[in-house]
């Protein structure tokens, strides 16, 4: 592994919250395939959850985890269909979601993402939470089709909507909706087992998570399956309760801000206690979610 890619690798393992004091050995990762509908699957390995659309026209992948896993991901897809991977849609620029681009692009997939994904991948990035520099991606890994607000792929009998949402996890987030199959992939705008990670250095905002989850709840019915960026497959009801938690936290923090409390005082008030067991055990701690909400209220996010 070259020095730069090693740095990227280490950096992103931390950013993904998967480095628990040791480096990850990708040779140990297995890809788990879950069938959601006749045409949509979810793949879990290491990094962001992958959505797969298969059918007449070929394969679309939503996100592609880390570059060293591409072979395993291709094998998992080959077990579902002999058709080629024609498109990769990136939900945002973090390397635990776009790492496989550098292999899948040259292998023939058209990579699609929001304008800011290409922009951020094109230059050295910085993930503030982990104080980590992320080198620019090689040109072959960059999305070649980018969009500003949304784009629709007419593929496998679906009108697949790729929708940019207001900055939430980053300023280049997209959610992907399969209206016919009744599946939505939320990228890291929804993580089923954690408080949200607002990547402030990438233009994220706590309020964007509220807006994005609200939007998806509003455009789906209870039969939709929800693929989170990380964590197990969810129902719309689970997404709704996560959204409601964010709204409540925002309101609780706002009350304190209105009472002229400092961030430090608010963080000591244990406002998130009733959710901490469920959502506060991963890399985003209660203090951080309070800080995100505080910054959004203050307009300093």
The site for Zn ion (CB under 5 A) is made up of 94, 188
- To Zn ion, the closest distance from the beta carbon of 169 in angstroms equals 6
The DSSP element (H or E) to which 95 belongs, if any, is helix 95-98
- To Zn ion, the closest distance from the beta carbon of 116 in angstroms equals 13
Q: Nearer Cβ to Zn ion, position 188 or 291?
A: 188
Closest-approach residue to Zn ion (CB): 94
Per the CB < 8 A criterion, the answer to whether 33 and 76 are in contact is yes
Q: Nearer Cβ to Zn ion, position 45 or 58?
A: 45
- To Zn ion, the closest distance from the beta carbon of 15 in angstroms equals 7
Q: Nearer Cβ to Zn ion, position 109 or 284?
A: 284
225 DSSP assignment: E
CA dist., res. 90 & res. 85, Å (int): 14
Q: Nearer Cβ to Zn ion, position 16 or 297?
A: 16
CA dist., res. 17 & res. 159, Å (int): 34
- To Zn ion, the closest distance from the beta carbon of 51 in angstroms equals 15
Q: Nearer Cβ to Zn ion, position 229 or 286?
A: 229
H helices, E strands: number in the chain = 10, 15
Q: Nearer Cβ to Zn ion, position 94 or 240?
A: 94
* Distance in angstroms between the alpha carbons of the first and the last residue of the chain: 36
- To Zn ion, the closest distance from the beta carbon of 97 in angstroms equals 6
Q: Nearer Cβ to Zn ion, position 7 or 263?
A: 7
57 DSSP assignment: T
DSSP reduced 3-state for 178: strand
Q: 267 CB contacts (<8 Å, ≥6 apart)?
A: 286, 287, 290, 291
- To Zn ion, the closest distance from the beta carbon of 195 in angstroms equals 14
Per the CB < 8 A criterion, the answer to whether 11 and 132 are in contact is yes
Which has the closest alpha carbon to 210: 187, 229, 189, 192? 189
> 206-219 and 286-298 helices cross at what angle (nearest 10)?
90
- To Zn ion, the closest distance from the beta carbon of 238 in angstroms equals 19
């Amino acid at each position: 592994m070259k020095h730069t890619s090693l740095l990227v690798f280490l950096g992103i393992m931390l950013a993904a919250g998967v480095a628990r004091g040791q480096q990850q050995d990708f040779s140990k990762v297995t890809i788990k395939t879950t069938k959601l509908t006749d045409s949509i699957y979810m793949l879990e390995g290491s990094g962001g959850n992958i959505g797969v659309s298969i059918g007449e026209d070929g394969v679309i992948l939503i996100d592609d985890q880390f570059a060293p896993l591409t072979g395993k991901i291709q094998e998992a897809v080959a077990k579902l269909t002999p058709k080629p991977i024609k498109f990769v849609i990136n939900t945002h620029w973090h390397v635990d979601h776009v790492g496989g681009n550098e292999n899948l692009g040259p292998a023939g997939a058209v990579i699609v993402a929001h304008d800011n994904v290409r922009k951020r991948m094109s230059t050295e990035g910085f993930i503030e939470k982990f104080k980590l520099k992320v080198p620019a991606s090689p040109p072959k890994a960059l999305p070649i089709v980018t969009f500003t607000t949304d784009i629709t792929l007419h593929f496998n009998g679906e009108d697949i909507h790729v929708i940019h949402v207001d900055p939430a996890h980053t300023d280049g987030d997209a959610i992907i909706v399969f209206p016919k199959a009744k599946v939505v992939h939320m990228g890291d705008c929804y993580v089923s087992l954690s408080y949200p990670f607002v990547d402030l250095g990438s233009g994220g905002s706590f309020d964007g998570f509220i807006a994005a989850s609200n939007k998806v709840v509003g455009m789906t019915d209870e039969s939709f399956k929800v693929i989170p960026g990380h964590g197990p497959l969810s129902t719309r009801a689970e997404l709704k309760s996560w959204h409601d938690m964010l709204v409540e936290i925002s309101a609780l923090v706002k009350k304190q801000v209105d009472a002229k409390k400092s961030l430090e005082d608010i963080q000591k008030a244990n406002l998130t206690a009733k959710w901490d067991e469920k959502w506060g055990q991963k890399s985003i701690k209660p203090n951080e979610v309070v800080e995100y909400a505080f910054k959004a209220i203050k307009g300093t996010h």
